[in-house]
A and B are shown apart, each in its own frame.
Chain A
Amino acid sequence: QSALTQPPSASGSRGQSVTISCTGTSSDIGGYDYVSWYQQHPGKAPKLMIYGVNKRPSGVPDRFSGSKSGNTATLTVSGLQAEDEADYHCRSYSGSDNYEIFGGGTRLTVL
């Protein structure tokens, strides 16, 4: 059970947009619309930002959006702000062994 693949780092200037990819297989991302994304600031617990591929919980700015194509899910952060600098983790359900799988995490730097 390998982790979902995320780039280790991403960056963008304030006001710009950045995308973070999360690649899995047809047994997880490609097979189910159960992808979620979490934001984690240093020393803090993960915070849900996107669920069900592209749904935002109440209180999450609409600058955050999610999508999926095939076995790859993508998180897009538009209009980057300083407080968006954090680690971002993707997560999916995997039907092959009925388990939960996370990505390796991506550190987003706001320049």
Chain B
Amino acid sequence: QITLKESGPTLVKPTQTLTLTCTFSGFSLNTGGVAVGWIRQPPGKALEWLALIYGDDGKRYSPPLKSRLTITKDTSKNQVVLTMTNMDPVDTATYYCAHKVNYVFDYWGQGTLVTVSS
């Protein structure tokens, strides 16, 4: 079955760079039309899409955050990495990675809470 799990720091300081890793199993990113995306959710607030990467290395980013985001993949390790620069307290959120196919985010990781504070 498809599973995804996020990992990374739980606390980062303002202006630092956040690096999150999504480790997945049960599917291959080399399969046509399959992608892995990142979505975040500040406490008590809405979901916000961040970035997406396909097996052919095609990438898409949220326009407002594009300058701060980089998404990469390591197909041999079944991992997708998201980096976000210049972190701010407003970036405090639970960060999820999710499997996407046929225009649907169908499987999600459990999420990881990242707090931005000095």
Number of contacts between A and B (CB, 8 Å)?
59
Given A51-B106, A102-B48, A97 contacting B96 (CB threshold 8 A)? no
B49-67 contacts to A (CB < 8 Å): 49, 52, 60-64
In the complex, are the beta carbons of B108 and A45 less than 8 A apart?
Answer: yes
Q: Is the interface of B mostly helix, strand, loop or mixed?
A: strand
Chain B contacts to A: CB under 8 angstroms: 37, 39, 45-49, 52, 60-64, 96, 102-111
In the complex, are the beta carbons of B63 and A91 less than 8 A apart?
Answer: no
- Interfacial chain B residues near A32, Cβ < 8 Å: 103
In the complex, are the beta carbons of B49 and A100 less than 8 A apart?
Answer: yes
In the complex, are the beta carbons of A93 and B47 less than 8 A apart?
Answer: no
Shortest Cβ distance from B60 into A: residue: A98
In the complex, are the beta carbons of B37 and A100 less than 8 A apart?
Answer: yes
Which of A51, A93, A100, A101 has the most chain B CB within a 10 Å cutoff?
A100
Q: Known pairs A38-B47, A57-B106, A102-B49. 14 more at Cβ < 8 A? A: A34-B103, A47-B108, A48-B104, A48-B106, A48-B107, A51-B106, A52-B102, A52-B104, A89-B47, A91-B47, A98-B60, A99-B49, A100-B105, A103-B46
Shortest Cβ distance from A97 into B: residue: B63
How many A residues touch B, CB cutoff 8 Å?
25
The 8 A CB mask of A41-84 against B (1 = contact, 0 = none) is 00001111001100001000000000000000000000000000
Which single member of A36, A48, A99 contacts B62 (CB below 8 Å)? A99
Cα A3 to Cα B62 with chains together (Å): 12
A105 within 8 A of B: yes
- Interfacial chain B residues near A1, Cβ < 8 Å: 62-64
